Structure 1
Amino acid sequence: MELNLETARQVIKATEERAEQVGQPMVIAVANDEGNLIAQHRMDDAWLASVSISRNKSYTAAALDMPTHELANASEPGNSLYGLQTTDDNKIVIFGGGYPLEKGGEVVGAIGVSGGEVSQDRTVAEAGVEAWEELLSEGVTADD
């Protein structure tokens, strides 16, 4: 079970609309359950660095089956995951903006958003999660 390109585009569109409401250009990445990129969109004037950061946030959320902001405390010095962000070819992100996308309790993909303050990235990414959940309820999503 994996996300398809059309569904990823719909999630990105809804996410971009929230970024416009926040007033911050963002880069939005949607990955499959293995963290491989399905689609990515860079809004006009979004930071170039956000291209790789958003992709890595989606990778992290998919690879670890959790939102990236949940890794912050555990990866501080002295805690059990200290240094986590230096592993996996430095693709692990330990700050907010990456969320898994679930279907039937299973992670089938992830979204990563970068371009603003962490709180903005989270707010915008959460719009993508909401769009995914709406698409699920309409039955217009992943291949089975």
Structure 2
Amino acid sequence: MAKAHAAAAAGGFAVTICIVDEGGHLLRLDRLEDAPLISLRVAEGKARTAVELNMSTAALEQAVAALPSMTAIAGIYPFRGGIPLRQDGYCVGAIGVSGVLPDQDEQVAQSGASALAA
């Protein structure tokens, strides 16, 4: 969470950051000042999607572009900003970020996810 906060602050991004465990259960949800209210739900949805599918939501976004019917699956958030958290080769949770442009959400999420690689 700290690395994601730092990346958001460095970019001046008003986002919500969500971390879930390997079962998709909420561990932490932080809405930064001026982040849109809807970003609460979307950040959590991105994190849950990333952990449940064990893939980044950026990869899912590409798949949906090829198969638009996937957007009809309830509870799936195929938008950049959700990244599985991996440790020792296992998915241990996910981080989801929402509130700014998709590339910026992804940048903040990547920063947060990189904490496990360090």
Q: Scaled by the length of structure 1, what TM-score is found?
A: 0.77
CA contact (8 A) 1:85 1:91 kept: no
Are positions 1:126 and 2:115 aligned together?
Answer: no
Residue of structure 2 equivalent to 1:105: 89
Where structure 1 has 5 or more consecutive residues not aligned to the other structure, the ranges are: 1-11, 135-144
- SS of equivalent residue, structure 1 residue 125: helix
Amino acid of the residue matched to residue 53 of structure 2?
L
CA contact (8 A) 1:16 1:26 kept: no
Give structure 1 regions of 4+ aligned residues with deviation exceeding 3 angstroms.
none
Residue of structure 2 equivalent to 1:6: none
Displacement of 1:73: 2.6
Paired residues in the alignment total 118
- SS of equivalent residue, structure 2 residue 28: strand
Q: Scaled by the length of structure 2, what TM-score is found?
A: 0.93
Residue of structure 1 equivalent to 2:69: 83
CA contact (8 A) 2:87 2:116 kept: no
CA contact (8 A) 2:96 2:109 kept: yes
- SS of equivalent residue, structure 1 residue 110: strand
Residues 39-61 of structure 1 show CA distances to partners (whole Å, capped at 9, x for unaligned) of 11000110001000000000000
Amino acid of the residue matched to residue 121 of structure 1?
D
Coordinate RMSD, CA, aligned: 1.2
Larger radius of gyration: 1
**Which of the two has greater strand per residue?**
2
